[in-house]
Amino acid sequence: MGLAKRKSAYVEYAQAVPLKYAIDPDSCIYLKKGKCGACKKFCEADAIDFDQKEEKHTLQVGSVILAPGFKPFDPSRFDNYQYANLPNVVTSMEFERILSASGPTMGHVSRRSKDKAEPKKIAWFQCVGSRDLNKCDNFYCSSVCCMYAIKEAVIAKEHIGEDLDCSVFYMDMRTHGKEFERFYENAKTKHGINFIRSRVHTVNPVPETDDLEIRYVTENGEIVSEIYNMIVLSVGLETSPEIVSLAQKLDVDLTEGNFCKTSSFDPVLTSKEGIYVCGAFQGPKDIPQAVVDASAAAAAAGEKLAAARNSLTKTPEKLVEKNIFGERPRIGVFVCKCGINIAGVVDVPGVAEYAASLPYVDFATDNLYSCSQDTQEVISQIIKEKNLNRVVVAACTPKTHEPLFQETLINAGLNKYLFEMCNIRNQNSWVHKNNPDLATEKAKDLVRMAVSKVALMEPLKEAELEVNQTALIVGGGVAGMAAAQSLSAQGYETHIVEQNSQLGGQALSLFKTAKGEDIQERLSTLNSEINSDDKITVHLNTKLTEVEGFVGNFKTKLSSNGDDQVLEHGVAILATGAAALEPKEYHYGKDSRIITSLELDKKLIEGDPTLKSLNSAVFIQCVGSREPDRQYCSRVCCTHSIDNALELKKRNPEMSVYILYRDIRTYGEREILYRKAREAGVIFIRYTLENKPEVLIDGNNITVKITDHVLGRPIEIGADLLSLASAVIPNKDEALAQFFKVPLNDDGFFVEKHAKLGPSEFATDGVFLCGLAHYPKPIDESIAQGKAAASRAITLLSRQIIFTSGTVAATTQADCSSCGVCISICPYNAPSFLEEGPFAGKAQINSVLCKGCGLCVASCRSGAIRLKGFDNDQIFSQIFSMNEAV
Amino acid sequence: MPKDLIGSVMVVGGGIAGMQSALDLADSGYYVYLVEKGPSIGGAMSQLDKTFPTNDCAM
């Protein structure tokens, strides 16, 4: 990013994958001038080849997925912010690096000017390169900047301290994502971050200092001048010219904002068959949405190739495992140099020599890179030749490399649990650079501990589970329907359970999508496609009454008008949707002209002729959303109301249409609708939570009173129609949550596995999530998530057989006192009391359900539970052998 | 299986979206070519400091 100097031979960052050096041709002296070449001389692995040329490869593939990402907007051309001239005006991406511990300032927040001072007052400017047709061509909202600016401000305060003064200058605060609104509220109230609704027009350097004077106009029309130490420009997302030309080459259509054109009902399909899209190229979006789309694109690509599944992949041959029962430990120790990463500090051959002297160690050596493929083969060879039955690798972190070495053990015919890894790099050579002697001693200690533990390791068995190839989808709205179609297209038997008498869910009451597509028309096509699909069975008027089993083998009781049926399935997708809130304010229900957004959609679907003759229509936003007792944004209502306002204007251009709002949240390219509505003469009036509009019914007249945010005066609007944008409220289905052991959040939406990286699945294996049950979202995002849930489910179904982990808890029933603490403490329902046999009444643990978390082990007062692979004697022997050194 | 059907997919771009697509496809039995112009995968997310809501390191 140019914040710090980088050498010509570099790795992008410490955790880069692959973690290999690259040469930057723009700064390498050898490549530019033909001199130097030092790296080639010093490289022990002889990996440098200056003659490497760009090569062309031709690959035959069944589908293509485009995920080329975005380019952060370059604000250099904005002369009023002076980004190019003033060092203390930085972009939000640069500020991320300044905050990062692996960044140029090691996470110490400091200015870019020569004083490198810690700032005391920082301002964020929103919508730089977004929602702006005056200074750039990006009309759209970049969707992510409001949230990242708040996050950066909160973290900057964490780094510098509570005294740091943070202000965010914005137009509309767009925190429409899951849990975002709460974060925004906390930023205001708990962290004391200032939010100022204004676009700053001028930034000037303060003479003799590196500070910045900014000028802006407040909402009351006052001109304010303030001094800040640092300014962060919240830059938007755009598609780079290279990607635009790639799209042209591929004949893929783009939108007005240069993103990939897709339809709401096929949100990841480009205009070209066989080419799919995901990530920010599909439209500016945040990480969870990009991850949803990514899985959806994988599903869409797979749907077309299902017949060729497994035709090009290879399954490694499995070796017969050696029985080591009764053998004395014969341990092999492999100490890694990791190039100079470890060997530059630690005396690696010395550690290997020491290891050879330890009890039961039959073999010890050092490797230049233990993880390289040739070393793997050598290790496997040595295990066989020396007849080793336990292995220790002293190298880097097991988090990334344990599976690799376990694979090596398997290839040598050993059980993969006869292995121990110790980290002499991240936890030793990297942190004790200045104390090589002590670091060598520490490496020896770590190796000795690992050796004493591994000697007591025993082969563990992984339970093998057959995965039932049928999928159950709970909820037949568009998300569930999309998931079902994807699963069926990939060859899986699918059942949709719907409690109502028809499929379609909330979409049945919706008129058009934000892109103008007719929803009812598409829905009836979807319906007939599903009904004629022989792999999809639809159960209408049906509810779940009981769920038994676990990943791969669920047994669910379906109940329909008194008829019960048990369905066996391998996976479950929860797509139970949400509902529209019935408003309790604004005199809803007292006058037929006061209706909800969905009721207006109904009139539009039915082509109600009275809509044409209205003189005035008023929309009130955030009815039940963003309130203290419902602290979330319903995400869809701004776009929905603006869309409907435009529909009314289309029917009668003379109609006066007002939208009363708090923040307009037409994120992404939906912003174009906001612009169109203003051009069509729709009047937008802002209100605050403390000063809500008031609705009066007086005889035949409905009057809406509101304080106009520009005039600052109360005004009265006569309304022939009042449309209330009522909140999307979750079903809060606690019984279902209990059935599948999945959590609900405070608002009543399901909690996904990971907010960023696992949005369409639960932490409970084999259970997936999509649609409104996850969080309010429009149709295109619901369909994408339906496909994403299907994609995640297919990664499980296609394996057919799964293995559970070997490191699970087990009870010694003779020692069990039947207290039941393990049963109540286990989050996964793994322990239960035996019902018969000599140990009836004692606890047993289902190894399939156990996740090996160890809670029951710690809670057992009788010491009757052990965690395999982390047994007491193993851990104690590790600790005691540490003691020898102290 | 139709003769001309190829069980592989090319994913263009190794950011978070490309990586997730590639993983899903590979885990579903399709051969994946992940094409990235830079020397490592990770994309824009790897440049971020921490991510909401857990403040997990973006790595």
List average pLDDT for each run of 10 residues in chain A, which is 886 residues long: 77 71 82 83 82 89 96 93 95 93 84 94 97 91 97 94 96 96 96 96 94 94 96 97 96 97 98 97 97 98 94 83 93 92 93 97 93 88 96 91 93 95 93 93 96 96 92 98 98 97 97 97 97 97 93 94 95 98 96 97 96 97 96 98 97 97 98 97 96 94 92 93 98 94 95 93 94 98 98 95 92 94 90 93 91 92 95 93 69
Q: Select from A288, A265, A250 the least CA-distant residue to A68.
A: A250
Question: B50 and A61 in contact by Cβ < 8 A?
Answer: no
CA distance B56 to chain A (A): 10
Asked if A579 contacts A729 with a C-beta cutoff of 8 angstroms, the reply is: yes
CA dihedral over A76, A80, A86, A90, signed as positive or negative: negative
Query: Is the Cβ pair A302, B25 closer than 8 Å?
Result: yes
Structural contact between residues A539 and A564, judged by C-beta atoms closer than 8 angstroms: no
Distance from CA of A783 to the nearest CA of B (A): 16
Nearest CA in chain B to A789: B24
- Of the residues A28, A73, A311, the best mutation for testing chain B's interface (the one with the most B CB atoms within 10 Å of its CB) is A311
Q: How far apart are CA A397 and CA A423, in angstroms?
A: 5
Q: Per the CB < 8 Å rule, is B20 touching A795?
A: no
Q: How far is B54 from chain A (nearest CA, A)?
A: 8
CB contact under 8 A, B1 and A307: yes
pLDDT over threshold 70, residue B54: no
Say whether A302 and B30 touch across the interface (CB within 8 A).
yes
User: What is the distance between the alpha carbons of residues A626 and A689, in angstroms, rounded to a whole number?
Assistant: 9
Do A470 and A568 touch, CB atoms closer than 8 A? Answer: yes
Contact criterion met (CB below 8 Å) for A81 and A125: yes
Helix (H) or strand (E) holding A349: helix A348-356
Residue A224's DSSP bridge partners are: A216
Question: 0.90 exceeded by the pTM?
Answer: no
Closest by Cα among A278, A264, A262, A236 to A139: A236
Q: Where are the alpha helices (DSSP H) in chain B?
A: 16-27
Q: Tell me the pLDDT tens digit for each residue of A84-130.
A: 999 999 999 999 999 987 788 888 899 999 999 999 999 999 999 99
The whole-angstrom distance between A766's CA and the closest CA on chain B is 14
Helix (H, G, I), strand (E, B) or coil at A567: strand
Torsion of CA A556, A557, A558, A559, to 10 degrees: -160
Buried/exposed A158-169: b ≥16 CB within 10 Å, e otherwise: eebeeebbbbbb
Residues of chain B neighbouring A311 (CB-CB closer than 8 A) = 1, 7
Indicate yes or no: CB of B12 within 8 angstroms of CB of A68: yes
* CB < 8 Å to A157, chain B: none
Distance from the B50 Cα atom to the nearest Cα atom in chain A, whole angstroms: 8
Task: Find, in chain B, the residue whose alpha carbon is nearest to that of A306.
Answer: B7
Angle at the Cα of A110 from the Cα atoms of A285 and A117, rounded to 5 degrees: 150
CA geometry: angle at A553 spanning A551 and A555, to 5°?
Answer: 115
What is d(CA A682, CA A502) in angstroms, rounded to the nearest whole number?
A: 37
CB-nearest partner of B13 from A100, A279, A309: A279
Interchain proximity B10–A180, CB inside 8 Å? no
- Residue A566 corresponds to which tokens in the numbers above? 């048990």
- Which chain B residue is nearest to residue A72, measuring alpha carbons? B44
Pick from B30, B31, B35, B56 the residue to mutate for testing the A interface (most A CBs within 10 Å). Answer: B30
Please state the ipTM of this predicted complex: 0.94
The answer to whether the CB atoms of B28 and A490 lie below 8 A apart is: yes
To test the contact with chain A by mutation, choose from B12, B21, B23, B40 the residue with the greatest count of A C-beta atoms within 10 A, namely: B21
Residues 6+ apart with CB under 8 A from A665: A172, A174, A176, A633, A635, A638, A639
Residue A59, Cβ neighbours under 10 Å: how many? 10
A66 and B13 in contact by Cβ < 8 A?
A: yes
Chain A residues close to B55, C-beta within 8 Å: 155
Instruction: Give residue-wise pLDDT tens across range B31-47.
Output: 999 999 988 888 888 88
Residues of A in contact with B21 (CB under 8 A): 65, 67, 278, 294-295, 297-298, 301
Closest residue of chain B to A295, computed from CA coordinates: B21
Name which of B15, B21, B57 is nearest A298 (Cβ-Cβ). Answer: B21
A-chain residues near B36 (CB < 8 A):
none
According to the 3-state scheme, what is the secondary structure of A144-165? CHHHHHHHHHHHHHHHHCCCCE
Q: Which residues of A touch B47 (CB under 8 A)?
A: 1, 93, 96-97
Q: Between A and B, how many CB-CB pairs are < 8 A?
A: 207
Give me the pLDDT at residue A849, please.
Answer: 84
Q: Provide the 8-state DSSP code for A691.
A: B
Type of residue at A500: N
Inter-chain contact A313–B26, Cβ cutoff 8 Å?
yes
Instruction: Calculate how close chain A gets to B38, using CA atoms only, in Å.
Output: 9
Which residues from B are below 8 Å from A70, CB to CB?
Answer: 44
Cβ contact A307–B19 (<8 Å): no
Q: Which residues of B touch A249 (CB under 8 A)?
A: none
Say which residues have a Cβ less than 8 Å from residue A567's Cβ, sequence separation at least 6.
A470, A472, A495, A555, A556, A557, A558
Long-range contacts for A113-118 (Cβ within 8 Å, ≥24 apart)? A113/A87, A113/A88, A113/A210, A114/A210, A115/A210, A117/A210, A117/A229, A118/A160
- Tell me which residue in B18, B31, B49 faces A279 most closely, judged by beta carbons: B18
Helix (H) or strand (E) holding A869: none
End-to-end C-alpha distance for chain A, whole angstroms: 46
Best B46, B49, B55, B56 residue to mutate vs chain A (most A CBs within 10 Å): B49
Contact: A65, B10; criterion CB under 8 Å: yes
Asked if residue A771 lies in contact with residue A786, where contact means CB atoms within 8 angstroms, the answer is yes
Beta-bridge partners for A12: none
Q: Please, is A584 exposed, middle or buried when counting C-beta atoms within 10 Å of its C-beta (0-12, 13-18, 19+)?
A: exposed
Who among A22, A179, A307 is closest to B53 (CB)?
A179
Distance from CA of A562 to the nearest CA of B (A): 38
Of B6, B11, B49, the CB nearest to A67: B11
Q: What is the pLDDT of residue A104?
A: 86
Asked if the Cβ–Cβ distance from B48 to A183 is below 8 Å, we say no
Search chain A and give the residue with CA nearest B47.
Answer: A97
- Domains of chain A plus CATH, in order, are 1-53 (no CATH), 73-237 (3.50.50.60), 241-307 (no CATH), 331-454 (3.40.50), 471-579+730-802 (3.50.50.60), 581-727 (3.50.50.60), 809-867 (3.30.70.20)
A791 contact residues in B (CB cutoff 8 A): 24, 28
Those residues whose C-beta lies under 8 Å from the C-beta of residue A699, and which sit 6 or more positions away, are none
Using an 8 Å CB-CB cutoff, list chain A residues near B13: 66-69, 279, 281
Q: Which residues of A touch B22 (CB under 8 A)?
A: 298
Identify from A181, A312, A492, A802 which residue to disrupt to test chain B contact, counting B C-beta atoms within 10 A and taking the largest count: A312
Measured between beta carbons, the chain A residues lying within 8 angstroms of B23 are 795
Beta strands A578-580; B50-51: pairing state: unpaired
Element (H, E) at A354: helix A348-356
Please name every residue paired with A238 in a beta bridge, in sequence order, or none if there are none: A71
